[in-house]
Amino acid sequence: MKKTLLIGLIFCVSLSFGKTYKKSESVSAKYESEFIMDDPSNDHVVINGSPTPIAVHTSRDYTFESVLIDSSTNGYGMYSNNTNPLVWVPESGLLAVYRQWAGIDGPSGQLGAAQSVDGSAGSWQVGVGLNYVYPGGATPANPMARYPSAVGTATSNPTPIWNEYTEDGSGGGTNGGRAMYTYDEFGWLGGSYYSPIYDLNTGCQTLPCDPPDLWVSQAQMVDNGSYPVLLAMFGEGLGPDRYWLLRNDYYLFGYLGMAAPYLALDLLNDGLTSGYTGTPEFHVNNNGIGYMVSSSYASDYNTGGSVTHHTLYYKKTDDYGATWESTFSVIADDVLDQALYDSGMLGDSLWELDANNDTVWTELNEAFVGYDYDVKVDDAGGLRILATVVATYTGGDGVYTSVEGCGHYLFYNATPDDPATWTATLVRDMAQSFFFDYTDFSGWQYMYPDMAMSPDGNTIWAVTSVADDTANGTYQDIDIFASRSLDGGVTWEDIGNLTNTASTVTVKNYEMSPHFAPYATAEDAYFIFQMGDWSVNTVGGILFEDYKQRLYVGHLMDDAVGVEKSLMLPGSFELTQNYPNPFNPKAMVEYSIESDGHVSVDLFDLRGSKVMTLVNENKPAGTHDFSINGESLPSGVYFYTMNFAGKSATKKLVLMK
């Protein structure tokens, strides 16, 4: 199949429906890159807490609420589908990491981070300007964080990850990409007291770093039973052919003891094609089993190789990412065709006008797996890949993105060691949205899929931006739509339009770039997204991402379960989080016990010394509450521990005066 970069667009007409299709778009990989930007912007007001949500969507079973947490200089950080700007750790909180608006004279790459116990309005603690001092004490004139991600576990500190676009002499290399991290020294909801910045790349002990120019990361943190393990993937340079995995081999109170960089993907040696390979995505489960996935052509796809489709390649780790298989497995042509074309989910035949304006018959018979995908591995080792799929045909010169069936598909294999057992399910038909053009990329590369999953793999949430409400082929509205599966991805429920903000040609209420926090339950899922402020252009271009962005965190709730979940009934032992948190000077706490008995609750400081006794008496079965008075205590992090009938529970709280 010939692959060329096309200059123009040719339109064709379906034989049966008379629908206009867009034909033969370029199939080369996009790469999100950005250099120094000017900031002709308004003054910044940091939001600690939030105004009214932009939308509250309630259906029979679902409620969606979104909260404005801060503003961002432009949309480039979240424009990449590879980053993970939001993490949710139940019982600990949420962390969002982003490029923060810094005012009319501020830098374009000021790093911000926001934490919340539950994502609700008024609960967000915002950290400002985390990247003004580099490792070693250098102070850049203009901090330039790029492509940040958020990671954390129940046993770790909340940790922002990013690459810094460094100035000359600051170690990044020719293109200035230096991988860095910081962490909240007081843990989750510790008041946004972030540590000094550290290098993720051990090759930065001397400058320039080795490997140099690390850009656009995907990051995850997982507990290996002994300590939290960070995995962060960076491409080397712009439009990279090599990708490095950075991983720690010990952890101490937030500090990451990093191992030497691991060359995870080298197109030259791994048999994939430069210019047509997607950025690798990975996920590692709680047992250390994980997969790294990339879409590509085989290097011999047009010289007699056995795999000629643009398909998915993957390799395995079984030790929390310390080592990986040396060769990729692949979803072969016949397996891909059987999953998509033979099932009837994808495919069409149509008349079209060719370059000579002649009418020709075209039979679409080949799938093209796009460059945007998300990867999750369940606790049993099953691999799920939510990917963009469009149509083409053998010998064609591009892809068709707006025929029925083009969209987001969930690929699943319970035993990935057997590459012949893949299945595919259509999650959302995106043909109408993919018709949308936005100057630099078409809709199929703008409207990427993202998912969150429960560890057992039964519950999967999917989210994307969707272009709708067309008028003469010009899209006037882009909203965020979601779906949910409760059977591992076999069937899907369309939750529908979550944001539902009306737009016109001149009033562009576009919600874009949704990223789920990777963990979810059947009842709750969180994602972050951005909405452009079209009155403030911070870059000078005309693209969506060239404008100031308002950042929102959305919370999807299943009402049918959520009501029951919120009730503490006799028969359960439960200690709730204090409210408010942080507090000054008083807070309330509820607890539940399943039988009559003696209850004790004590307050401890960070050193483990008991500060005061909060409860020490017999209580009947049921729900009770008590107050905490911090008037006589200094600001800081404390813990309260409840003991009842041989059971114990502990919560962390923050006193801020």
Residue 58 confidence (pLDDT) above 60: no
Q: What is the pLDDT of residues 422-480, one digit of tens each?
A: 999 999 999 888 877 665 567 788 899 999 999 999 999 999 999 875 544 555 678 89
The predicted structure's pLDDT at residue 345: 84
353 is written with which tokens? 């006008």
Q: Is 516 exposed, middle or buried (0-12, 13-18, 19+ CB in 10 A)?
A: buried
Query: Left (φ > 0), alpha (ψ -120 to 50) or beta: where does 311 sit?
Result: beta
Output b/e per residue, 239-278; b: 16+ Cβ within 10 A: ebbbbbbbbbeebeebebebeebbebbebeebbbbeebbb
pLDDT in tens, 518-546: 999 999 999 999 998 888 888 887 777 88
Q: Which residues pair with 236 in a beta bridge?
A: 214
569-655 belongs to which CATH class?
A: mainly beta
CB 43 within 8 A of CB 69: no
Among 36-50, 143-157, 256-270, the range scoring the smallest mean pLDDT is: 36-50
Q: Phi/psi at 596 (nearest 5 deg)? A: -65, 145
3-state SS of 193-256 is CECCCEECCHHHCCCCCCCCCEEEEEEEEEECCCCEEEEEEEEECCCCCEEEEEEEEEEECCEE
Q: What is the pLDDT of residue 566?
A: 40
508: which 2 tokens? Answer: 């562009």
**pLDDT value at 1 more than 50:** no
User: How many Cα neighbours within 13 Å face the side chain of 427?
Assistant: 32
- What's the Cα-to-Cα distance from 442 to each of 225, 367, 374, rounded to whole Å? 44, 18, 19
Q: 552-567: per-residue pLDDT in tens?
A: 999 999 866 444 344 3
Choice among 69-83, 346-360, 402-416 with the minimum mean pLDDT:
346-360
SS3 593: strand
Q: Which residues lie closer than 8 Å to 49 by C-beta, 6 or more apart?
A: 121, 122, 123, 124
> What order of strands is seen across the sheet that includes strand 159-165?
145-151, 159-165, 177-181, 198-199
Distance of CA 425 to the CA centre of its chain: 21
Domain range annotation of the chain: 569-655
Give the whole-angstrom CA distance, residue 650 versus residue 644.
Answer: 12
How far apart, in whole angstroms, are the C-alpha atoms of residue 231 and residue 249? 10
**Average pLDDT, rounded, for the chain:** 84
- Helix, strand, coil in percent for the chain, rounding step 5: 5, 45, 50
Name which of 206, 199, 154, 164 is nearest 181 in CA terms: 199
pLDDT tens digits, one per residue of 573-597: 888 888 777 778 888 898 889 889 9
* Residue 298 binned pLDDT confidence (cut-offs 50, 70, 90): very high
pLDDT digits (tens, 9 = 90+) for 76-85: 888 889 999 9
In the block, residue with structure tokens 């979240």: 78
Query: What does the block give as tokens for 346?
Result: 């994808």
What tokens does 287 get? 């047992």
Task: List helix spans (H) across 461-586.
Answer: 559-566
pLDDT of residue 44: 25
Structure-block tokens of residue 188? 């989750």
Q: What are the backbone dihedrals phi and psi of residue 274, each rounded to the nearest 5 degrees, phi first?
A: -65, 140
How far is it, in rounded angstroms, from Cα 153 to Cα 163?
21
